[in-house]
Amino acid sequence: DAGITQSPRHKVTETGTPVTLRCHQTENHRYMYWYRQDPGHGLRLIHYSYGVKDTDKGEVSDGYSVSRSKTEDFLLTLESATSSQTSVYFCAISEGQESSETQYFGPGTRLLVL
């Protein structure tokens, strides 16, 4: 158990509304990640963070922004939700303080955009 929680676990929203998902970790890991999981695509990286206020884009970052104001929290915001952003979102951390360390995943947030 890597001490990762995600909230909310389920959310239904309407197209055009902003949505924020939260990832919280309790073990002071430096690296945190947001992925989305879609059938036929596996997991794809949206954004990642390598420290407080240090973030960078992943392969599917369009339409998403992130913030990390504290080590323990990594927020993912859908600025104006679209139906294509209906997905399951996973937060992950790299064990320890290096990006080369093994990634561990949170329980996921299931988002439905109507």
Partner 1 sequence: AQSVTQPDIHITVSEGASLELRCNYSYGATPYLFWYVQSPGQGLQLLLKYFSGDTLVQGIKGFEAEFKRSQSSFNLRKPSVHWSDAAEYFCAVSSGTYKYIFGTGTRLKVLA
Binding stretches for partner 1 (CB under 8 A): 31, 33, 40-45, 48, 50, 90, 94, 99-100, 102-108
Q: Smallest gap, in angstroms, from Cβ of residue 34 to partner 1?
A: 12
| Pairwise CA distance, residues 98 & 95, whole Å | 7
Which C-beta is closer to partner 1: that of 27 or that of 80? 27
Number of helical (H) and strand (E) elements in the chain, helices listed first: 0, 11
| Pairwise CA distance, residues 24 & 16, whole Å | 26
Which C-beta is closer to partner 1: that of 63 or that of 104? 104
Q: Smallest gap, in angstroms, from Cβ of residue 7 to partner 1?
A: 14
| Pairwise CA distance, residues 57 & 80, whole Å | 18
Q: Smallest gap, in angstroms, from Cβ of residue 16 to partner 1?
A: 28
Q: Smallest gap, in angstroms, from Cβ of residue 35 to partner 1?
A: 8
* Chain mean position to CA 113: 17
| Pairwise CA distance, residues 47 & 63, whole Å | 11
Which C-beta is closer to partner 1: that of 8 or that of 16? 8
Which C-beta is closer to partner 1: that of 40 or that of 62? 40
